[in-house]
A and B are shown apart, each in its own frame.
Chain A
Amino acid sequence: MGRDLTLLGLTLALVLLLAGAVIFPHWLTFLVMMSLARGLVVLGIVLQMRAGLVSFGQGLYYCIGGYTAAMLGSLYGVREVAVLIAAAILVSAAVAFVLGTLLSRYRDIFFAMLSMAFSMILYGLLVKSPALGSTDGFNVPAMTFFGWKPAVQSTGVYVITCFLAYMIALAYHYYQKSPAGYLAGAIRENEIRVEYLGSSAQWLLHAKYVMASVISAVGGLLAALATGHVDPEMAYWTTSGEFVFIAILGGTGHVAAPFLGSTLFSLVRTYAYQFFPYTWQMILGLVLLLIIVFLPRGLWSLIQRLYSEKPRAADR
C-alpha cells in the first residue's frame, strides 16, 4: 500500500457519522458517541503504548476532563462547550506536565503502577469530597455548542464528538508520521540508541505523556457531556483497565484501531447485557481471550491482513 488513505478514510467516516445523526436509531448514535469518547481515551493509551509504556491510570485524565466540564457547568454556571474544551485541555496539560516530570523517568511495570497510583489518589480525593457528591457524583447541565443550542442536547454532543474525534485523529495520524512519531518505536526497541542519535528519550516521553493526557481529557469531557453525569468511578483503576482492554482489542497499528476497538467493545457489551444478563462479564472475557489467541495484534491486524499489508516494525 503505497498511498496513505487515512485522510480519505477518516473524512469519509466523519461524513457517514454526521449523516448517522439523522439516520441511526437514537440508541446507536449514543453508542457511537460513547465509543468515540472512549476511543479518544484509548488513543491516549495507544500513543504511549507505541513507545513501550502501558498506562494503567489513563482514567485520571478521563476523570479530570469529565470533572472539569461538570464543575464548570454546575458550580460556575458555564454553558458553552468551547469554554469547557479549552478548560479541560488547560487543566489536563498542566497536571500532566507536573506528573510527567516524574513519570517520564519510569518504564515498564513501574510506569504502569505509578500512573495507576496517581489516578487512585484522585479517586480517593473525590470519594472524600461530599461537596462534589462523593461516590454518587453529580450531573452536567445542558450546554450550547459554539453558540448553537440544539433542540435535543445529545444531538449537539454527537456532532461535537464527531468533529473533535476527527480532528484529533487526523492530528494524531500526522504526528505519528513525523520524526517524533517514528521515534516512539525506536524508544521502545532501544532507548540508548535513541539518545546516541541525539534525541532525548525522556523529553519525548514527557511530551507524549502530556499529549496523551490532553487527548484522554477531551474523551472524558465528551463522555461526561454525553451521559450528563460524572462520578469518581471515572478515575477508578477498573475504568483504566477497561481502556487498556480496548487498546488490546483494537491494536496499535493505526489511528482508527482504538475507535474500532471501542465500538466493538460497546456493541459486545450491550448485547451481552441484553442476552446474558447474568453472565455478561463472562462473554466480555471470552471475547478478549479469543482476540488475544487469534489476533494478538488486535482487530486492526485483521484489516491489515485483508489488504495483505505486512505490519511494519514501526507500526506494531
Chain B
Amino acid sequence: MTAAVEFQSVSRHFGPVKAVDSVDLTIAEGAFFAMLGPSGSGKTTCLRLISGFETPTGGAIRIFGEDVSATPPHLRNVNTVFQDYALFPHMNVRDNVAYGLMVKGMGRAARLARAEEMLALVKLDGYGDRKPAQLSGGQRQRVALARALVNEPRVLLLDEPLGALDLKLREAMQDELKALQHRLGITFIFVTHDQHEALSMADSLAVFNEGRIAQIGTPAEIYDRPATRFVADFVGSSNVLPPDLTRALGGPAQWASLRPENTRLAASGPVTGTVTALRYLGSGTRVVLDLGGTEVAALLPAGQPLPEPGAALSIAFDPAALHVMGDAA
C-alpha cells in the first residue's frame, strides 16, 4: 500500500531560520495523524508544505506516490480546514460549501444538492441561506469542514481544528471528527499544540521540536516510551531523571523518564529529598520532592495521607515503569 503522504528529508528554511529541517515522515492511507508540538516547532509549516502554500527548500514530498514539487495548491487533491476557518464572507453557507465543486465546473443544481448533503452530514441542515457572519464559532467550523469534505479529497488537513472552541464543544467535536474520519475513510492530518487532543484523537502522531521530528509513534508508545527528554516533558509532563540520579535509583547511568502516576512516596530509600510543594488535583494530589537538585513529582491517589511540606522522604517505583532514554535532548 502506498503512503498517503511521504516526506523525504524535507526542509523549509526562511533565511537563517530552519522552520522545517530535514524531516522524514510517512503517513499511512486512512490514518488519523496528529502533528504535535509547541508553537514555532514547524508543525504548521509541514501542513502548509502538504497543501502547497509553502514550497520546500530541500527534499521531496509525495502524495499517494506522486511527487508534488511542481503541483500548485489548486491542483492537489488535498483540502484544508483553516484555523480561522477562512469562510468567504460574501457568500452564504451553501455557496461556500459548493465553491470547490463550482470551480471544478459542476452544474449549479448538482453542486447545490451536494452542498446540502454535506451540510446534513455536519448537522447544519437548514443553515444554507445564512451568511458566515451569522453563525457561531462552532457552526463556522462545521461549514469549513463541509466545504473541504465536499470535494472528497484524498487527504484532509486540519490546522488547530479545535483551538477556537470552548471546552465542552471541543470534546463533542473530538468525538465527531473521529466518527467522521472513520466513516469517510479519508486520511486526516491535524496540527495541534494540545497533547491531550493529539493523544485522544490520533491513531499515530509526530512530536515536533525546533523544526525536527522528535518522535513518531502511536499515542501509547509516545506516552509510555518517550524517545527524548523533550517528548517526556512535553507529552504528559513526566519526571525527567539525569543519569546519576537514574543510577542512584537503581537504573543504568542514562537519562530516564518516570511518570508521576507510577511514582510512590517512601519513608526511606537510596536517595532522600524534601517535599517542596503539594498541589491538590481533585482526583489526587501531586507531591513535588527535591531529590538532590532534581524535581520529581509523585501522584498520590485521593484518600492517602499527605506529607507535610519540608518533610524528608524518598521515592519508590516498579522498575518496569522506569523508561531509559537515549542521549538525545
A joins B in a complex: no
B interface residues with partner A (beta carbon < 8 Å): none
A interface residues with partner B (beta carbon < 8 Å): none
